Structure 1
Amino acid sequence: MTIPDLDSKRAKVFEQAGFDILTETQELDNEKQIKEVSRSFLSDTITVPTKEMYTYAALASVGDDVYHEPSTKALEAHVAKITGKEAGLFMASGTMSNQIALRTHLKQPPYSVLCDYRAHINKYEAGGLAFHSGAPMITVLPANGHHLTLSDVETYLVTGNDIHGAPTEVIALENTLNGTIFPQDEIVAISEFAHSQGIKMHLDGARIWHVAAETGMSMKELCDPFDSISLCFSKGLGAPVGSCLVGPKAYIQKARWFRKLFGGGMRQTGMMAASAAFALTHNFPKLLDVHALARRLEKGLVDIGVGITSGAETCMVFYDPTPLGVDYSEIVERASKLPDPIKLAGSRIVVHIQTSPQAVEDFINVIRELAEEKKKAGFVPSSVKPKANGHIYKDIYVRGVKPPPLMPFEKA
């Protein structure tokens, strides 16, 4: 084969591989998507990076994270510092961060992990603990309907030398859980007991930023009771991707090894780290406005007569429209047909830093209109409202009433 023939073949190979991913109307498409995000209550993971965030991120270092990427290392050190830990490790997701955290703690079976039965590690991480760590979970239903207590933990903890059981090696708590704040004094009590038994403490702190914003407690104070903490940048803070695992230096070094083993060693992560840094600086303070908007949403629903099964402690409201004779499917359909549609799923409403206040008012009006239509049709609204209880109501039968179905996106 002559060189011209080879060059021609190469040109065809290159041409076939080339691809323009941008549409002819990309800027308008992006503006449309941003507006959709502002009117979506599906999750706080759907927020989009702003132009200012991208501009800042583009200035980040361009190293390889497997070979100590500067911007990423700076972010890891900063998050470790503000949480009072020795070291940090940037991860692609909160699920990866949780799973590697637990795998690093669990060294020699038999062992088990105790958590709230509603915990993300139990319900929304694809059975990762069993797959990655070969560990069973002891899932506990909080007796108070809101959060685990020391009494709950003591009741279900597996200790001792009985060969029929798998001793509890880690207690994994979540704060916030379904948007509710775990009382710090209870966390401290559980931690002191756990450590007295030689048991480690892990925190799924994907939305711990909300707790700090709402309570005014420092990140260090919130994280002190734990041996390891996973913190998300894309939930609530508006970064495009990423979480950080923090803990002792030797622990994080081992976790870095597991991250590589799991296929999570990343390359040019500087832009992601810079986006997270931008989010911490500029978006973290916005969470107070998010909480206020969530409370406005809750009040609007209560004024109409909607049942609240878990109130707006931070960014989420769980509601039950059945006292008005309205079901979720009617609300979802009516909201989707507005001139400016609203995206909803089931009983969970999530407010985020890019939620439009007008979307909140429009959502309330949708339910008000449906309630009025039901009244005109002869429905008598119920005076008995579902009890707020940290939204355990969502998942189990309470007072003989079947809970609303878990809808798509009503997770994470």
Structure 2
Amino acid sequence: MAQVSEATRAKVADEIRFDILQGVPEGENDLKRSQIARTFICLPHHILPVPTKEMYSYALQASLGDDISSALEAHIAKITGKRGGSFHAIRPPYTVLCDYRAHIFKYEAGGAGFHSGAAVTPVIPSNGHHLTLDDVQANMVYGPEIAYAPTEVIALENTLNGTIIPQDEVIAISEFAHSKGIKMHLDGARIWHVAAETGISLKELVEPFDTVSLCFSKGLGAPIGSCLVGTKEYITRARRIRKLFGGGMRQTGLLSGSVAYALTYHFPLLPRVHALAHKLEKSLEDIGVTILSPAETCMIFYDAGSIGTTYDEIAERGAALPEPLFLGGSRLVLHIQTTEAAVSDFTKLIATIAEEKRKTGFVKPEVKVNGHQDVYVRRAH
């Protein structure tokens, strides 16, 4: 091999070099955290809250070896009680039954079909809140009819848009599913909120399910990471599939340390979030805002039209405040970094807009039409 000059090596190194901090203003992260404290938007690509300085300080002390990740996995297995048993691989054609609002149906880019070949049966809850055993039984596909792909998995999400599925309903669905040889999966991205609100242990909440996914970012504020729990055989197969897709992580101490911090110090903060959401809901109702979905945990859905305005107007005026509020759409998401001041400022903004609309002649009728939401009208003076 021909000799390579130091100048040539330096040129290559210079091409590769990248300073990600260049151009980043001093205090940028502090600014972002202050903005997050006044942000009520949580999108699939925009997760709240964000890691804190204390979390990173704790995580930096974690081991650089992969053993810390194993310790974290063992802890999650312990608190969920998912050990032992057997798992039989499901192969297409089959369907996954879920709520029509479920993330696996609406927001995962068709991942169920792409990755597993499964179809999805989205079901609208008859009670408007959560799937019931009657809903599941009415939409099951099983039997010898070859024209239909049989239901092999029932996937529930808890919370779903901040609402909690009653545990007795979960158990009823699970008992029925297992009597038919059907698997139960839980999208437990926000199961932490359920545990914090109900006082039911994580182990009890997930016991009816064969597999459970848990997110450490949503609600808890770790920088990255979800965990899949199930039987030993299932997890072995899941690891193999992850490797098949090129997955795998090394030197996970920083991430595992962040998760440990979130479990220890952020989980206990969730009841305050729920209380703040209840306070905001009551304030909005006092102003005259129609609540579409109440604050069971950390989310509220409200109708901007009920005070004669639009979500765009609210977002624009929130962004124009001296200390901006970041808003969008009907969903308000509160989190452990949401401040009392942000909630107060949002309430004042809504009250101001509502009063302005009333002065221009907007009236919200008290009656409902055909059982649907209120019909809103504008009346001249």
* TM-score with structure 2 setting the length: 0.93
Alignment partner of 1:337 out of 307, 311, 320: 320
> Relative to 1, partners in 2 of residues 1:400 and 1:55: Cα closer, same or farther, differing over 3 Å?
closer
Q: Give, in angstroms, the shift of residue 16 of structure 1.
A: 2.1
Contact 1:47/1:238 (8 A) holds in 2: yes
Mapped to 1, the partners of 2:369 and 2:228 lie a distance apart of 37
Distance 1:401 1:122 in 2: 31
Cα offset for 1:61?
A: 2.1
Q: Equivalent residues in 2 for 1:181-260 (5 A)?
A: 181-260=164-243
Match of 2:379 in 1: none
Q: Which moved more, 1:276-285 or 1:370-379?
A: 370-379
Once residues 280 and 83 of structure 1 are traced to their aligned partners in structure 2, the CA distance between those partners, rounded to angstroms, is 13
Out of 246, 252, 259, which is 1:276 matched to? Answer: 259
1:385 to partner: Cα distance: 7.5
Find the counterpart in structure 2 of residue 36 from structure 1: 35
Could you tell me whether the CA contact under 8 Å between 1:194 and 1:200 is conserved in 2?
Answer: yes
Answer whether contact 2:365 2:375 (CA < 8 A) is retained.
no
Match of 1:368 in 2: 351
Q: C-alpha separation between the residues in 1 aligned to 2:111 and 2:173?
A: 25
Letter of the 2:281 counterpart: E
Aligned partner (choices 46, 54, 60) of residue 58 of structure 1: 60
Task: State how far apart, in whole Å, the 1-side matches of 2:331 and 2:50 are.
Answer: 20
1:15 is matched with: 14
CA 1:38–1:195: 2 relative to 1, 3 Å: same
Aligned equivalents of 1:169, 1:24: Cα separation in 2 = 52
Give distance in 1, aligned partners of 2:135 and 2:277.
30
Q: CA deviation at 1:309?
A: 0.4
Task: Give the letter aligned to residue 54 of structure 1.
Answer: Y
Q: Check if 1:119 corresponds to 2:92.
A: no
Question: SS state of the match for residue 169, structure 1?
Answer: strand
Q: What's the counterpart of residue 130 of structure 1?
A: 113
Q: 1:82 aligns with which of 79, 83, 105?
A: 79
Query: What CA distance in whole angstroms lies between the structure 2 residues aligned with 1:259 and 1:22?
Result: 32
Q: Distance in 2 between matches of 1:328 and 1:399?
A: 17
- Tell whether the 8 Å contact from 1:315 to 1:350 is kept in structure 2 after alignment: yes
User: Within 2, Cα distance between the matches of 1:24 and 1:251?
Assistant: 46
Aligned-partner residue type, residue 146 of structure 2: I
2:171 is matched by which residue type in structure 1? V
- By relative contact order (CA 8 Å, sep 6+), the higher-ranking structure is 1
Equivalenced residue count is 371
Cα distance in 2, alignment partners of residues 9 and 75 from structure 1: 45
Residue 27 (structure 1) shift: 3.9
Query: 1 CA distance for matches of 2:10 and 2:22?
Result: 24
Sort the Cα spacing of 1:262 and 1:255 in 2 relative to 1 into closer, same or farther, 3 A: same
Mapping 1:255-334, distance limit 5 Å: 255-334=238-317
**Aligned AA for 2:18?**
F
Gaps of 5+ in 2: 377-381
Q: How far is the alpha carbon of 1:107 from its aligned partner? A: 2.4
SS in structure 2 of the partner of residue 230 of structure 1: strand
Secondary structure at the residue paired with 1:139? Answer: strand
Find the aligned partners of 1:111 and 1:213 in 2 and give their Cα distance. Answer: 35
Any idea what SS the aligned residue of 1:186 has?
Answer: helix
Alpha carbons of structure 1 residues 343 and 384: separation in structure 2 relative to 1, 3 Å: farther
| CA deviation after TM superposition for structure 1 residue 131, in Å | 0.6
* CA drift at 1:121: 0.3
In the alignment, the residues of structure 1 paired with residue 23 and residue 268 of structure 2 have an alpha-carbon distance, to the nearest angstrom, of 36
Contact 1:308 1:387 in 2 (8 A): no
Give how far 1:264 is off: 2.0
Alpha-carbon distance in structure 2 between the residues aligned to 1:325 and 1:294: 23
Provide, for residues 122-156 of structure 1, a one-character-per-residue CA deviation record: whole Å limited to 9, x for no partner: 00000001111111111110000000000000000
Deviation at 1:31, TM superposition (A): 1.1
Q: C-alpha separation between the residues in 1 aligned to 2:265 and 2:38?
A: 22
Query: Which stretch shifts more, 227-236 or 318-327?
Result: 318-327
Q: Separation in 2 of the partners of 1:185 and 1:261?
A: 38
Shift, 1:254, TM fit: 0.5
TM (norm. structure 1) is: 0.86
Q: Is the 8 A contact 1:239 1:276 kept in 2?
A: yes
- 1:187-229 deviation per Cα after TM superposition (whole angstroms, max 9, x unaligned): 0000000000000100000000000000000001101100000
Given that residues 324 and 382 in structure 1 are in contact (C-alpha distance below 8 angstroms), is that contact kept between their aligned partners in structure 2?
no
